[in-house]
Amino acid sequence: MAIGPSSRGEASDGPQDQSQGHSLYDAISALTSELSLDAVLQMATDLSRALVGASYSALGILGEDGKLVQFITSGITQRGRDRIGRIPEGQGVLGTVLRQDIPLRLKDLAAHPDSVGVPRNHPKMKSLLGVPIVYKGRVLGNIYLTNKIGAEEFSQDDENLVTLFAAQAAVAIENARLFEDESRRSAQLDVLNRAGRELTSIFDLDKLLHAVAELLRQGFNYPSVQVFWVDRANQVLQVRAVAGLIQGFVPLGTTRPIGEGLAGWAAQNGVTVLCSDVSVDPRYSSMIEGFESCAVLAVPVTVLDEVVAVINVDGMEPQAFDDSDAKTLETLADQLAVAIENIRLNRQQQEQSRRLAVAEERDRIGRDLHDGVIQSMYAVGLTLEDIASRADKEPGEVGPRIEEVVGDLNQAIGDIRSYIMDLRPRELQGRSLDEALDSLILYLEDRTGVSVTLDVQMELASLSELYIVNLWHIFQEAFSNIEKYSKAKTVSVSLAVSDGNLSLDIVDDGQGFDLEKSELGRGYGLPNIKDRAERLGGMLLIESSPGSGTRLKVVIPADQRTGPFSEAGGTNPTVARNNHGDG
């Protein structure tokens, strides 16, 4: 169907004219067959212009506050629209049509008392026909037609025809809105279901917050998303995740005081902020010069009655969000709160596991001491009592018996020393793990001629005693294997904290071995490494094949004092370590 501008010089007999009736029917049929709201609005604008033969047409859509939020045009090129700039604010004659809710037909726009002229770079317009779009007594917007083709003004027939068309356009617009709302709600439910499945399986805070930002950007098609972390200690909000347009403007880690801006207000008061037009909200302030939003939705994330984060979404046009957006984001915020609490509980569980391991080790040592050294000391005590009771009667036996006791005491002391060394190895007595590791590497290089490269991307001094001792024994066992069996020329060692795990990688270019044919630990001491890794809740990964060297990778949960999760969410700074490759 094609509807072109008419060049009629005279008014027709009215809406009942057969040609106009067919045109109206065709226009309504085309309009009601479309369900996309944007397409319906543009189609209504184009069809109304063609229906009565106007040079230009526009369709203004009203927001909940009665102000224009959309202004669709027809007859003006994109370049022309760009030159005009922002949409009208409803002043002048446009405002008159908005206020009176009835058609307005003018022969000369400039002659109307409410006329304020047209903006700069705007096409010249003289005649006007303005018709409200009304649905069940509620004005959705208005159709504006200007410059009647072939006549000085629009006729009564034109007014009647456009009024009928506007009534059907109202139905089509409302149907498209309902369809769009339902489609949007369905998409939001899908995203919420995904969030429920995915978020609770993430145990790294930064990854979790980035996942939320991307879910909102991709799932809801929000143009700009920020997730703030609430730093109570410093009374600031910290940008921890961004997605969409804001990525080019705000770096991660940027802060602003709690209470400042709409997100800060949400954090301070613990309530959702839905701002349809930031230009009229005194609480709004932009974080970044050059980035201005038109609408903001800020939702607090509350864990155990305390706001720990704020989800902030920017809209690039007024009225970008409604109550359904707020309710959806509040649901997502609840899911995020559960995921954050899961991270805390997971850390707590890991800490409890570590404490349990320490308690079990202490219990083992206590049993060993009781069964070994304590029994020996008890026997020494009994022997001394026996010597004392016989000293007067058998003085010649005292000397030899005391020498025997001294020997028993020395043995007991040796046993005690062995237990002490098991808790704090001799090599670590009075030295840090860094220093002991340097000595071990130099020893290996001197003994074998192998070149060792060491890269430590963490602060070893911050490790707990449990980690220091076990890592030391792992290094000892691994280097002993290299010395005895690998025939390697180079060895690389790296130690770092990433994604909540402490990773130790030891790679040599030696002769390797067949993993399938070789039993784990036969002459290689690997069970000791595996046992110590598992004791810390981790695992040992082995990669090797004949002629291609060996890689040992130990992955254990990061020590609490070196882990990436903290109130501010940071990790320890990277520490550069020495390279022994050049001897």
pLDDT score recorded for residue 427: 72
Average pLDDT estimate for 453-473:
88
pLDDT at 494 over 70: yes
Report the number of distinct structural domains present in the chain: 4
Say if residues 307 and 301 touch (Cβ distance below 8 Å): yes
Domain endpoint, select from 423, 449, 483: 423
Return the pLDDT at 95.
Answer: 73
> For residues 543 and 512, is the Cβ–Cβ distance under 8 A?
no
The answer to whether residue 476 is domain-embedded is yes
Say if 326 falls within a structural domain: yes
| pLDDT score for 313 | 92
Select from 8, 88, 94 the least CA-distant residue to 51. Answer: 8
Structure token pair of residue 287: 């974080």
The percentage of residues in the chain with a pLDDT greater than 70, rounded to a whole number, is 82
Domain boundary among 309, 342, 375: 342
Which residues form the domain of 327? 205-342
What's the whole-model pTM score?
A: 0.46
* Strands 306-315 vs 295-303: parallel, antiparallel or unpaired: antiparallel
Q: Do 329 and 373 fall into the same domain?
A: no
SS3 content of the chain, % helix, strand, coil (to 5): 50, 20, 30
Q: Band of the pLDDT at 197, cuts 50, 70, 90?
A: confident
509-545 pLDDT per residue, tens: 999 988 777 654 554 468 878 888 988 899 999 999 9
Tell whether 187 is covered by a domain.
no
> Would residue 509 count as lying in a domain?
yes
pLDDT(389) > 80: yes
Q: What one-letter code names the amino acid at 205?
A: L
**Token representation of residue 408:** 């028993």
Among residues 87, 178, 94, the alpha carbon closest in space to that of 136 is found at: 178
pLDDT tens digit string along 361-373? 776 666 556 555 6
Are 399 and 517 found together in one domain?
Answer: no
Dist. CA 460–CA 468, nearest whole Å: 8
